[in-house]
Structure 1
Amino acid sequence: MALYIGLMSGTSLDGVDGALADFDGSAVRTLAAAYLPFPPALRAELMALQAAGPDEIEREALAANQLATCYARCVADLLAQASLAPSAVRAVAVHGQTIRHRPELGFTRQTNNPALLAELCGIDVIADFRSRDIAAGGQGAPLVPAFHQALFGLAGQARVVANIGGIANISVLHSDGSVTGFDTGPGNVLMDGWIARHLGKEYDADGAWAASGTVITPLLQAMLTEPFFALPAPKSTGRDLFHMHWLDAHLAAFPGAAQADVQATLTQLTAVTLAQAIQRYGAQADAVYVCGGGACNGTLLRMLAAALDGKVTVASTDALGVAPNRVEALAFAWLGYRFSERLAGNLPAVTGAAGERILGALYPR
Structure 2
Amino acid sequence: MSGTSLDGVDAVVIDFKDHQCQVLHTANLAYPDSIRSELLALHAASHNELERTALIANRLSILYADCVKQLLSNAALSASQIKAIGCHGQTIRHRPELGFTLQIVNPALLAELTGIDVVADFRSRDIAAGGQGAPLVPAFHQATFGSADKNRVVINIGGIANLTSISASGHVIGFDSGPGNMLMDAWAEEHLGKRYDHDGNWAASGQVIAALLARLLAHPYFKQTPPKSTGRDLFSSAWLADYLTPDYAPADVQRTLLELSAQSISMALTDFCGEVDEIYLCGGGALNSALVARLQQLQSPVKIQLSDTLGIRVQWVEAAAFGWLAKQCISRQTANLPAVTGAKGTRILGAIYAS
Normalization by structure 1: what TM-score?
A: 0.96
Runs of 4+, deviation exceeding 3 Å: none
More deviation, 298-307/60-69? 298-307
Q: Does 1:165 align with 2:158?
A: yes
Q: Distance in 2 between matches of 1:315 and 1:250?
A: 33
Deviation of 1:321 (Å): 2.2
Rounded to whole Å, the distance in 2 between the matches of 1:77 and 1:150 is 28
In 2, distance between residues paired with 1:65 and 1:259?
A: 37
- Three-state SS of the structure 2 residue aligned to 1:101 is strand
Aligned-pair CA distance for 1:27 = 1.3
**Structure 2 unaligned blocks of 5 or more:** none
1:245-265 CA distance string (max 9 Å, x none): 1111011xx331111010000
Secondary structure of 2:125's counterpart equals helix
1:125 aligns to what? 118
Residues 100-119 of structure 1 aligned to structure 2 (within 5 Å): 100-119=93-112
Are residues 1:46 and 2:39 paired? yes
Give how far 1:303 is off.
1.1
CA distance in 2, matches of 1:307, 1:361: 41
Counterpart mapping for 1:61-210 below 5 A:
61-210=54-203
The residue identity in structure 2 corresponding to 1:317 is S
Secondary structure at the counterpart of residue 183 of structure 1: strand
Instruction: Give the equivalent residue in structure 2 for 1:306.
Output: 297
Aligned runs of 1:249-268 on 2, under 5 Å? 249-251=242-244, 254-268=245-259
What is the Cα deviation at residue 191 of structure 1? 0.2
Aligned partner letter, 1:191: M
Match of 1:5? none
The whole-number CA distance in structure 2 between the counterparts of 1:313 and 1:269 is 21
> What do residues 151-172 of structure 1 show as CA deviations (whole Å, max 9, x unaligned)?
1101021010000000000000
Aligned-pair distance for 1:213?
0.5
Q: Where do residues 226-265 of structure 1 align in structure 2 (5 Å cutoff)? A: 226-251=219-244, 254-265=245-256
- Identify the residue that residue 308 of structure 2 maps to in structure 1: 318
The equivalent residue for 1:276 is 267
Give, in angstroms, the shift of residue 319 of structure 1.
1.9
Which residue type is aligned with residue 87 of structure 1?
S
- The residue that corresponds to 1:347 in the other structure is 337
Superposition deviation, residue 281 in structure 1: 2.2
Supply the distance in 1 between the matched residues of 2:40 and 2:198 (Cα, whole angstroms): 21
**Whole-Å Cα distance in 1 between the matches of residues 222 and 269 of structure 2?**
12
Q: After alignment, is 89-98 or 27-36 more displaced?
A: 27-36
Q: Displacement of 1:25 after TM fit?
A: 1.0
Q: Give distance in 2, aligned partners of 1:350 and 1:320.
A: 22
What's 2:281 paired with? 290
Alignment identity in percent?
A: 56
Alpha-carbon shift at residue 217 of structure 1 (Å): 0.9
Residue equivalent to 2:8: 15
Q: Which amino acid aligns with 2:153?
A: V
Task: Indicate the SS of the match to 2:346.
Answer: coil
Per-residue CA deviations over 1:263-300 (Å, capped at 9, x if unaligned) read 00000000000001111222221121110000000000
Partner Cα separation in structure 2 for residue 243 and residue 9 of structure 1: 18
Contact 2:80–2:116, Cα closer than 8 Å, also in 1: yes
- Partner residue of 1:35? 28
1:232 counterpart letter in structure 2: T
Residues 200-252 of structure 1 show CA distances to partners (whole Å, capped at 9, x for unaligned) of: 0000111000000111111100001111111100000000001111111011x
Mind listing any 5+ residue stretches in structure 1 that lack a counterpart? 1-7
Is this contact kept in 1: 2:150–2:278, CA < 8 A? no
Superposed CA offset, 1:109-158 (max 9, x none): 00110000000000000000000000000000000000001111010210
Give the Cα separation in 2 of the matches to 1:12 and 1:265: 19
| Distance (Å, rounded) in 2 between the aligned partners of 1:345 and 1:284 | 25
* SS in structure 1 at match of 2:269: helix
* 2:351 counterpart of 1:358: no
Q: Give the aligned partner of residue 333 of structure 1.
A: 323
* Structure 1 position 312, deviation (Å): 1.3
The whole-number CA distance in structure 1 between the counterparts of 2:15 and 2:338 is 26
**Is this contact kept in 1: 2:155–2:279, CA < 8 A?**
yes
- Residue 314 of structure 1 and its aligned partner are, at CA, apart by 1.1
Structure-2 separation of matches of 1:287 and 1:249:
37
Structure 2 CA distance for aligned equivalents of residues 69 and 295 of structure 1: 29
What's the C-alpha RMSD, in Å, of the aligned pairs?
0.8
What residue identity is the alignment partner of 2:228? K
Aligned with 1:71: secondary structure?
Answer: helix
- CA distance in structure 2 between the partners assigned to 1:247 and 1:136 by the alignment: 33
> What TM-score do you get using the length of structure 2 for normalisation?
0.99
Q: SS at the partner of 1:250? A: coil
Distance 2:45 2:95 in 1: 14
